[in-house]
Structure 1
Amino acid sequence: MELYKSNDMKIWKEALKSYPTSIMSLNKPNLVTLDEFYCSQLPTLLHSRLPAPYLTRSELHSLMQWKLTRGKFRPRLLDFVASLDEELVKSASQKAFLSLPDDISKAVSELTVLKGVGPATASAVLAVYAPEVAPFMSDEAMEAVLGHSKDYSLKQYLLLAKKLLEKAKELSSEDEQFTASDVERALWSSAIEAKLSASSAKETQITSKKTSGRKRKNSS
């Protein structure tokens, strides 16, 4: 929330720059590899598919793994995606991408026909193809921007996307361009750093109390 309210470009750039470090700091199996696929490899694949981009079932499965590993893990969603029809995934994703950048609502709706794909997962798909207009609906971004992460509806996503796009425009200049997805990643990274810092401080406090307790016990 503190970062979201700020317009200090230096702070935002530092938060965005720390994103890879924040990914690694979570120490989650395969997250670094999955994030590299999601952020670098998949966008290139999609934009190379002409005349109309689409997503394969395998790519959607990997994207879902990324989403669940970076956030809350719900293995059942992976099972749903694994059972989807290949042609349906291709058709739904193609229609969604062709709806951008003009109609984000339609793009989300085209994807949510797929079992296991709600607005949050749909946003992750759209963010790969059009990061400038369709950011990922992460819990951390929702907490910072909307003050909660309980409502994963299309309505809430459109509100989040609107606010992240507005913030991106506020931060952008002729020399520096921020996308809505840059804003989301910076907010996510800032939130992760804050959580890890708080956890570290708590562990230090517990260790200090245990040490003090042993010293008192030994002195008695």
Structure 2
Amino acid sequence: MKLPILPERVTYDQLIAKVNNYERIVPSNLQELDNFRVKELPGILHQRQSSGGAFLEKEEATKLLNWKLYVLFLLLASNSDEVIRAITKDAFSAYTANPSDPIKPLESIAKLKGVGPATASLLLSCFDHENIPFFSDEMFRWIHFEDAGVKGWDRKIGYTMKEYKSLLGKVSDLRTKLKDGETIVTALEIEQAATVIFSERMKQPLEESLGNEEEEASKPSSSKKKRTVKHPK
């Protein structure tokens, strides 16, 4: 059977082609929350950063968790406004001071009730979705698809910080591999592409899941989705 496009062989054009299909596969009842996470909240956080320090309001953090996993919604809501604001502000400040070590800020965010490594990565990724990947099931399984001893899309996930460190390293390596001149794909775009690839695999037989890889690779460079990414320094 034909394997899906994998990180070891994916090209810049192929990945961006998947990113361009991302909005089409977002369920209608999640479009508002997804737009909040991908477009609205990052702008809000960057504005706060320039005004003295980024933080999440309780309502914002609740929306993100609702997007990720509904069953954890009430746990996060049990954190007070003050606790959420203080912990996320400290975490964002720590990350800004040392962006090369996102694990400590993530561990700080994970101290919130109802928040583990995966959800903590979601919150931090909204502060810098260029460099910080969200620990999604689809992203983790795709990026590790051909690791020895794993089972592709059926791989079990423990949602541990050790697994996130592995995800972080592989995403960083893939971004370096796909660098196109001065343009580099973001961690968010890799996540979106992985989500599209998984969605296509679920709808079609595995051997037909992604169509003709060569055809996608031959698309003209003008089809690339150019971006101007702004993130805190």
Indicate whether the TM-score tops 0.5. Answer: yes
| Deviations 1:129-188, CA, capped at 9 Å, x for gaps | 111221100101111122434110111101101101110111112253211221121111
Q: Give the match's secondary structure for 1:3.
A: coil
Matched residue, 2:142: 144
Amino acid at match of 1:32: Q
Higher mean alpha-carbon deviation, 128-137 vs 110-119, is at 128-137
- Aligned equivalents of 1:175 and 1:53: distance in 2? 28
Which of 3, 14, 19 is 1:16 aligned to? 19
1:81 matches 2:88? no
Amino acid at match of 2:180: S
RMSD of aligned Cα (Å)? 1.8
- Aligned equivalents of 1:198 and 1:114: distance in 2? 41
Matched residue, 1:181: 188
- Aligned equivalents of 1:198 and 1:22: distance in 2? 18
Matched residue, 1:217: none
Matched residue, 1:48: 47
Q: Which has the higher helix share?
A: 1
Q: Give the aligned length.
A: 190
| Deviations 1:36-91, CA, capped at 9 Å, x for gaps | 111010001111112110001110110011112xxxxx42x101111111111011
The answer to whether the 8 Å contact 1:142/1:149 transfers is: no
The answer to whether the 8 Å contact 2:12/2:180 transfers is: no
In the superposition, relative to structure 1, how do residues 149 and 42 fare at CA in structure 2: closer, same or farther (>3 Å)? farther
Q: Give the match's secondary structure for 2:67.
A: helix
- Aligned equivalents of 1:149 and 1:185: distance in 2? 21
Shift of 1:198: 4.2
Identity value in percent: 28
Matched residue, 1:59: 60
- Structure 1 stretches (4+) deviating beyond 4 angstroms? none
- Aligned equivalents of 1:40 and 1:57: distance in 2? 18
Which of 112, 127, 130 is 2:128 aligned to? 130
Matched residue, 1:3: 6
- Aligned equivalents of 1:103 and 1:149: distance in 2? 26
What is the 5 A alignment of 1:134-213? 134-147=132-145, 148-198=155-205
For structure 1, which runs of at least 5 residues remain unmatched after alignment? 69-73, 202-220
Q: Which protein has greater RCO, CA pairs closer than 8 Å, 6+ apart?
A: 2
Shift of 1:19: 0.8
Decide which structure has the larger Cα Rg and report it. Answer: 1
